[in-house]
Structure formats: structure tokens, C-alpha cells
Structure 1
Amino acid sequence: MKIGIRNMVMPGARIVMIAPEAQEPTEGESEESGASAEPQPAAQLLVTLAVTPHDAERIVFAAEYARIWLSLEGAEATQDGTGIVTEENVFE
């Protein structure tokens, strides 16, 4: 399934926590010590948001069938003039 829609769906959502996703030990890494020759950056981050149950369902759907992009909004940011962006109107 390809979803060709982009939209700001949860402006102002509060971030509760950001943490590196748990990773399995890699080859050459001692399971007891947890140390490796060189520290590796987290491939993914786990972001916890404070949202309503309805918004949580939308996030799960996006995680399963599309992509999720997060952005930091300034305190004065507004959602005026935002709308759905499709393949047909992306360059308008």
C-alpha cells in the first residue's frame, strides 16, 4: 500500500521521552560487559508522545503503513495555511 499524502496531523503534541532503541549485542561485543571496541550510534530512536487514544491509533497506522516525521515547532508557530499535500499539489 502506498500512501501519497503528507500532512501535519498532530501539531503541538508533547514529547514525554526520547531514548535510543534497545539493540542486540553485536559481534565482538561482550554480553557481560556490554562494551564494544567502538561505540555505535543508535539506528533508531524511541519517542514517547502524550496524545489522545484517537491520535495514538493514527500514529500506529502511520508506523505500520507509512513514515513518521517529527519536527520541532517554535512557541510562536501556527498551523494557519497548512493542508494536505499530495503528489498532485506538492509543487503548487
Structure 2
Amino acid sequence: MTEQTAWPLWEVFVRANRGLSHVHVGSLVAPDAEMAVRNARDLYTRRGEGVSIWVVPTDAITTSDPDAKEAFFESSEGKNYRHAVYYTASEGVPHL
């Protein structure tokens, strides 16, 4: 009897129309990238709503820690000038 190996998990991103961003639509398991693309097409674009599919092995994705969101996303000290709230609109410039 041979030992079975689990197929890798893939994250699927679909772009609905040209010019739009790819959006995460779900996950699937497949033995390789080619089969992952074919399975993604069958699962997530059955009604012809996709023009492009990306599949990425789940273990190739690196994420930030949700528990450290305050420290990770807060502005660095001394860089408050990056926030537009500190600027005022110039008078006499109608398009601003």
C-alpha cells in the first residue's frame, strides 16, 4: 500500500472585466497549477463572468498579523505630513 500525499490548497482570484482588479473568490485543492486553473474556471466562472484567473498556492502567501493591526498600520512618528488632513485648500484654485 502506498502513502497518499495531500494535494496543495490554492487561492483563486478572478477578474470580472478588463480593467478591473482580480478579486479573491475562494480556495480549492489541486495537484498542480494547471489543474488548479482548470478547476477554478469550472468552479468560479461557470456563467462566463471571468476574463482572467489567478491561482496561488496558499503557502506562498504571507500575511500581516491581525492581532498586531494597531501597531502595524499606525503612522510612523514624524510622518504626519502624509495625512491630507494637515493641508488646507488654496483660495482661488477652483479645481481643488
Q: TM-score, normalised by structure 2?
A: 0.29
Q: Which of the pair has the greater relative contact order for Cα pairs under 8 Å at 6+ separation?
A: 1
**Greater Rg, structure 1 or structure 2?**
2
